[in-house]
Structure 1
């Protein structure tokens, strides 16, 4: 039986330990724990941004600085403009202002930065991180590089939090809220879209996910967590200068997330703890060994990062959970599927024979290569059309033109009577077209049901705030019930809670079909769905496709197994070198000399 540490158990243990800490620890240790909490909040944002979303950022320290300087200026300045001064800025009001300023800044920065990809994205975050750091140091209003003090303490119900042990509980309350909020968000419709950003963006767009929006969401959330950390920091220190908000701290925050486990929310706390404690020890130990000159702890951290990347790329959190399970095994919570919820509304399928897809003279050029050359085909409701041809004939390229993954060089594609040429796959998916891929595009570490539920993204509408505070639970039950229904429909009910990456290739292809069906399409595009399936599994797949066709769904199929195709489909279109060489009924196409020449080298 598989065991893993339950988040609820972890939360209870952490709350108890934190409640007891100020009663038994020395002031020095409380101060260290305060810094761990502050760093953890930034690292949690980086787990969401980098570990889950795949967006590397070195600039989070600058967002910490925005939160810190906003509250520092508003709570100390005596010469604010009238429209600001009348509010009488308390630390709590300045927190709201800091979140607004930081969130707006992150949105504007994200509009430019998130358009970058590859190594340009982290370089972009370094650029604006350095810019904000020097902005803090050069503006006279902000005290320059010297900084300024006199910042008031935070007051809770009239009780001022002036000492480390007094602000301790507030810092860790914020950390726990950040953990709960992030875990809730990831366990939702919005969270599945976010988790698809790393390695599954083409698939997610084809399922209707607005990946640009999801990238912006996690970028802004990470900045808000950093802002809250800066707000707490500056009211704990009662002094602010630019030093803690430089690029070196941005690198250190990223190091915390990676060390703890970049894909694990709890790993952020582990990483922040290890780095903070090590830094304190090394600052005492290394100078005694090597002398006072030099930042030897930086060298040590660099070597440690290289070691971690070699030996434990998943970070310390997976290692700790594995070790803990041997001592205190905790049964993993298995999601319960509510079968009694109201089913999701379904679209009315077109009447049998109605024209669904009409592609005319579609051409796609890649430089001097013509992958599709003036190809035309049509699919009607209740019909199964096979698009076949030798390897490299251009079948998958045509699929990409039809589904909006790629844009035709010329030609016209009409779906349900509307011109969709050049529209995004997300727009086309919303109209009722869904697809699978030649090369399976699943998220291997997510369960089968979570992968399939991504297909239902457009059938829900609850947003980020609803997900973060569990206000979306009724809709989530309906989405998961639909996903479970489609998994059972394709015959994989026994694998519902298994990691998708652990399935055989043929089973993964069936999972993709279930995901496509969960979107409630009227036209289904299947790219080599029978590849890797055994004989009985192919029979079951063929029966499912016949049933879907009988219900009025149109199916466009690419497949290499001719026995499977010819006994199943209504019509066949044959491609060779990007052009259509034959079209007709299966028995007609099999006798076509052009087809025999393409497949067998001649009529003989």
Structure 2
């Protein structure tokens, strides 16, 4: 577990044990609401702060959890625990349906979609006769646990904050795993994640469901603490307040979720007492105050208050990962090497049209194992488009692509990655806030099996150690060992390109596609890269490389394919290409020997 989560978790546990014994009833009740809101906010950190999916509808999921237990316990005489189970099942089903519908939206359409169903569910709560209308349902029974009746504020304080601590522990474990890296890659890195074998649609749906289930747990606790449920606490206004909480506290941090819940709850209570004295009894003035506060936060503390606190308190700062356990980790299974010189990827008649623009026209090439193939041509020749066609990021207009005898055109990029194709990108695609080690480990995503439940319960440590050990090995292999714990975004552009190569190698591919890998590298770095590629060739790996540095390329490539205007201009051995008049005229220039 990350140290950045340990301290907030310790504070939460201490608060759960001490607060009920020392706080007056009013403040204890206020603290209980902070805990209830924290559970929802923690789910929103996973969904919005880390996953990048903005939702205004979480209050509706709180309502589903509350109404499920209210109906089952008051109208059917079932226990609150069965009400909890039913609420989780109903919430899970509704969240799955809503997720499948709304998560297909992108940009500003997604939050608008969540706004729509959030409002719809709120009015559904108030208009269904069996739910008591806007008058609500009362006389909910108390929660009992092994003879302990949870009825007083002190009792609920212990239960609520123990659950908050458990949720923080589970989410911390999840985010510190292969599935957690996949979640963190969703925010601005979906294309790269798919190319590394991550099912981004699955990850989005799962975190959407997880956040909804946590909201339902909060609703269940709220219903039995109040012994009364009506639609008012589940309106869209409350959904906006949950967003305020994580924005103020720190949208991407678990400690920030709790801090934000405390700030909004405390400020709201204080303002409701102070503002009417200043401006009169009528009016919702605290909403105006919170609007201004959010603007100030976005201007001066865009990451939230918690990161500011962490930056000023040394013992809260994250420390480098201890790699001692990685030295004894079992190696990941590796693919059996293929015989050298065999056709690995065969593309025939590949054509790609964007409306009237023909980016690739009847392109064909064959890549063999144990061979470095160079793909060259002027800017705009269609090289990167061909890369995207070969790796499934773009669909073909016509033609076919086979990999190891299997048709792969039409397959998704993650399925192609699973077959043994890995790549870098023309424009570097790393998660800048993640360490080099974590970025490279993302390449081994498909080499692990642990899912959300095992990761959350911390039962995948052996597999995680093997993945990180493989990532560390690849980082050392490319010569960036001293930068292993640095944030990837802090590296120079050339070093970031090397990190991408290490990530691609971490996937254990048969075929490595490199898009301008030497761009931004200094002379010695290019020599080190050339040595690495020659070692990979000797190991039987196939490499397809786009590069503009002819001195670097011609001394390294076994075979060269030249493109111009989306078509193949020439192909052959490097020395043949350097003497080809068409190539000299179109690209290399007459002074090339």
Give TM class, smaller chain: over 0.9
Question: What's the secondary structure of 2:313's corresponding residue?
Answer: helix
Measured in 2, the distance between the counterparts of 1:265 and 1:455 equals 26
Query: 1:551 aligns to what?
Result: 539
Instruction: Report if aligned partners of 2:310, 2:317 keep a CA contact under 8 Å in 1.
Output: no
The C-alpha deviation readout for 1:231-263, integer Å capped at 9, x for no partner, is 000000000000000100000001111111111
Q: Which runs of 5+ in 2 are unaligned?
A: none
Measured in 1, the distance between the counterparts of 2:554 and 2:224 equals 73
Instruction: Report if aligned partners of 1:593, 1:603 keep a CA contact under 8 Å in 2.
Output: no
Deviation at 1:11, TM superposition (A): 2.2
Measured in 2, the distance between the counterparts of 1:547 and 1:226 equals 52
Measured in 2, the distance between the counterparts of 1:329 and 1:10 equals 9
Query: 2:83 aligns to what?
Result: 94
Distance change (3 Å), C-alpha of 1:329 and 1:110? closer
Measured in 1, the distance between the counterparts of 2:479 and 2:42 equals 38
Query: 1:50 aligns to what?
Result: 48
Query: 1:23 aligns to what?
Result: 21
Question: What's the secondary structure of 1:115's corresponding residue?
Answer: coil
Deviation at 1:600, TM superposition (A): 5.5
- Is residue 565 from structure 1 mapped to residue 553 from structure 2 by the alignment? yes
The C-alpha deviation readout for 1:553-577, integer Å capped at 9, x for no partner, is 1100000000000000001001111
Query: 1:261 aligns to what?
Result: 250
Deviation at 1:342, TM superposition (A): 1.7
Question: What's the secondary structure of 2:6's corresponding residue?
Answer: helix
Query: 1:85 aligns to what?
Result: none
Query: 2:65 aligns to what?
Result: 67
Query: 1:334 aligns to what?
Result: 321
Measured in 2, the distance between the counterparts of 1:478 and 1:93 equals 40
Distance change (3 Å), C-alpha of 1:600 and 1:552? closer
Query: 1:82 aligns to what?
Result: none
Distance change (3 Å), C-alpha of 1:536 and 1:12? same
Query: 1:84 aligns to what?
Result: none
- Is residue 249 from structure 1 mapped to residue 247 from structure 2 by the alignment? no
Deviation at 1:160, TM superposition (A): 1.6
Deviation at 1:329, TM superposition (A): 6.8
Query: 1:155 aligns to what?
Result: 144
RMSD: 1.4
After superposing on structure 2, the runs of 4+ consecutive aligned residues of structure 1 that deviate more than 6 Å are 601-604
Question: What's the secondary structure of 2:261's corresponding residue?
Answer: helix
Aligned residues: 590
Deviation at 1:332, TM superposition (A): 2.3
Superposition pairs of residues 35-184 of structure 1, within 5 angstroms: 35-78=33-76, 89-184=78-173
The C-alpha deviation readout for 1:338-385, integer Å capped at 9, x for no partner, is 212221111012101111010111111111111111111110000100
Superposition pairs of residues 213-224 of structure 1, within 5 angstroms: 213-224=202-213
Measured in 2, the distance between the counterparts of 1:193 and 1:332 equals 22
Measured in 2, the distance between the counterparts of 1:321 and 1:397 equals 44
Question: What's the secondary structure of 2:18's corresponding residue?
Answer: helix
Question: What's the secondary structure of 1:405's corresponding residue?
Answer: coil
Deviation at 1:50, TM superposition (A): 0.5
Query: 1:278 aligns to what?
Result: 267
Deviation at 1:334, TM superposition (A): 2.4
- Is residue 346 from structure 1 mapped to residue 344 from structure 2 by the alignment? no
The C-alpha deviation readout for 1:569-597, integer Å capped at 9, x for no partner, is 00100111111111001111011111111
Query: 1:296 aligns to what?
Result: 285
Normalising by structure 2, we get a TM-score of 0.98
Distance change (3 Å), C-alpha of 1:462 and 1:125? same
The C-alpha deviation readout for 1:42-91, integer Å capped at 9, x for no partner, is 1111110001001000000000000000000000004xxxxxxxxx5211
Aligned mate of 1:586, from 562, 571, 574: 574
Deviation at 1:18, TM superposition (A): 2.9
Aligned mate of 1:462, from 441, 445, 450: 450
Question: What's the secondary structure of 1:352's corresponding residue?
Answer: coil
Measured in 2, the distance between the counterparts of 1:148 and 1:179 equals 31
Q: Which runs of 5+ in 1 are unaligned?
A: 79-87
Question: What's the secondary structure of 2:327's corresponding residue?
Answer: coil
Query: 1:387 aligns to what?
Result: 375
Instruction: Report if aligned partners of 1:597, 1:603 keep a CA contact under 8 Å in 2.
Output: no
Question: What's the secondary structure of 1:556's corresponding residue?
Answer: strand
The C-alpha deviation readout for 1:75-111, integer Å capped at 9, x for no partner, is 0004xxxxxxxxx521112111111110111001111
Deviation at 1:552, TM superposition (A): 0.8
Distance change (3 Å), C-alpha of 1:421 and 1:212? same
Instruction: Report if aligned partners of 2:348, 2:365 keep a CA contact under 8 Å in 1.
Output: yes
Query: 2:32 aligns to what?
Result: 34
Query: 1:207 aligns to what?
Result: 196
Deviation at 1:599, TM superposition (A): 2.1
Measured in 2, the distance between the counterparts of 1:387 and 1:180 equals 49
Deviation at 1:174, TM superposition (A): 0.9
Deviation at 1:333, TM superposition (A): 5.1
The C-alpha deviation readout for 1:394-427, integer Å capped at 9, x for no partner, is 1100000001111111111011100111211111
Query: 1:495 aligns to what?
Result: 483
Measured in 1, the distance between the counterparts of 2:200 and 2:136 equals 40
Superposition pairs of residues 346-425 of structure 1, within 5 angstroms: 346-425=334-413
Measured in 1, the distance between the counterparts of 2:316 and 2:256 equals 19
